[in-house]
Amino acid sequence: MCDEELRGGIPLIGDAFPEMEVQTTQGMMKLPEAFKGKWFVLFSHPADFTPVCTTEFVAFQKRSKKFADLNCDLIGLSIDQVFSHIKWVEWIKDNLGVEITFPIIADHGNVAKKMGMIHPNKASNTVRAVFIVDDKAIVRAMIYYPQEVGRSVDEVLRAVDALQMTDQKKVAAPENWPRNELIGDEVIVPPPRDIKTAMSKKKGPSCYDWWFCHKKLGGRI
């Protein structure tokens, strides 16, 4: 039995995003082809017309320009009919003054099952899952929250930013980068691979030890 069968076919970090055709509020779309050359965030919510999900959609929309600045699009999903999505988006605009401009997948359960989004013991409701996919259609991060707890959209945005930065600069991002409690907006450099280099860094001005050195980024993306 292959690894994919053992884990139920759910893509993991480093896997190619599975090809699929989906019905959305902006028409039929082929994923990941629709976002070719771009990063995208696929996020699921338990259901339309629910308070926590509404707060999340407003937050995603208000930060959509920041995602776009990172060459990253947004696409939502729940197991609701497209008519429900359309009406809910209309309600958000009419009552909260926020126009949702990104597409929302109307799933019949196939996508949610394939992506591991079904909430255990909650019928067909989807968990609050987030898949961050890069411009080569590779899954780079996965975040799951239960139905009862809204996620932080700022953290999703930070994760996209950090992934792109580490790709470009070949460094690592510390906790809550770029606002880390120890090193601020600095980044962590790869540890040395030989004893001589390790010992030379042991007492460096930007090192806590040879395995923990940091530096200024020197220009963002």
Q: Which residues are catalytic?
A: 53
In angstroms, the Cα distances linking 118 to 3, 20, 28, 38, 150 are: 20, 17, 22, 27, 16
Of residues 127, 160, 114, 129, the one with CA closest to residue 16 = 114
Q: What one-character-per-residue DSSP string does 111-172 give?
A: HHHHTT-BPTTSTT-B-EEEEEE-TTSBEEEEEEE-TTS---HHHHHHHHHHHHHHHHH--B
φ, ψ at 69 (rounded to 5°): -60, -20
